[in-house]
Amino acid sequence: MLGGRTPVLRYSLTFAHASGQPIHIDSLNMTPKTQSHLLYRFKDGTHHAAQEEMEQWPSYIRGETFLARKGDLFIWHSDLVHGGSEIGDPTKTRRSLVCHYFTEADCRKQKDSQLEELNGALWLNRLPPPVYTAPERFGPDRPFPEELYLRRHSDVRAAVAGGAMPSGFHHYQHYGFAEKRPI
């Protein structure tokens, strides 16, 4: 438990080299739904990034440099200003794993996702970004993601379970693609 609340793994990223990202605060782009203690408010009154104001935002903050050594573990709050330094020597690596955690209460408010226990912890099993692609792109070498499609479209799942539709792929081929339903 961190911060007195049950953490849930929501996003993870891996890097072989420095990310080179400009300075930022994670919670401006991955804004929690629960009350936060963010300092910066955009013109619309929220803490979520407003694209038209992002250019001015860096002048509001300043950063310090943290020089990590091999094996260091660095845990920071999502409101901490951070970024990735430029890659000075492309032959060297800086393998890293970055994990973003939300509170359990915040994750329960997410649409199209479910909390799952794994090895005594919680992670957010959420749908990947929607994809629209022609049905003919699927075949023996590229199978249709049946379970994902049925998870995304509960009405199709019910029709398949009730025998009114032979499969999610059949639905996608004959109706879903034309209806612009994502996979």
pLDDT at 128: 83
Question: How is the chain split into domains, by residue range?
Answer: 7-126, 135-176
Q: Which residue in this structure is represented by tokens 């910066």?
A: 40
- The Cα 161–Cα 163 span in angstroms is 6
Provide the CA 4 distance to its chain's centre, in angstroms.
Answer: 23
Given this model, what pLDDT does residue 63 score?
Answer: 60
For the chain, 183 residues long, the average pLDDT of each consecutive 10-residue run is 71 80 78 61 72 72 73 81 80 83 79 78 83 94 95 96 98 97 95
3-class secondary structure, 35? coil
Alpha helices in the chain (DSSP H): 26-29, 104-107, 146-152, 154-161, 168-171
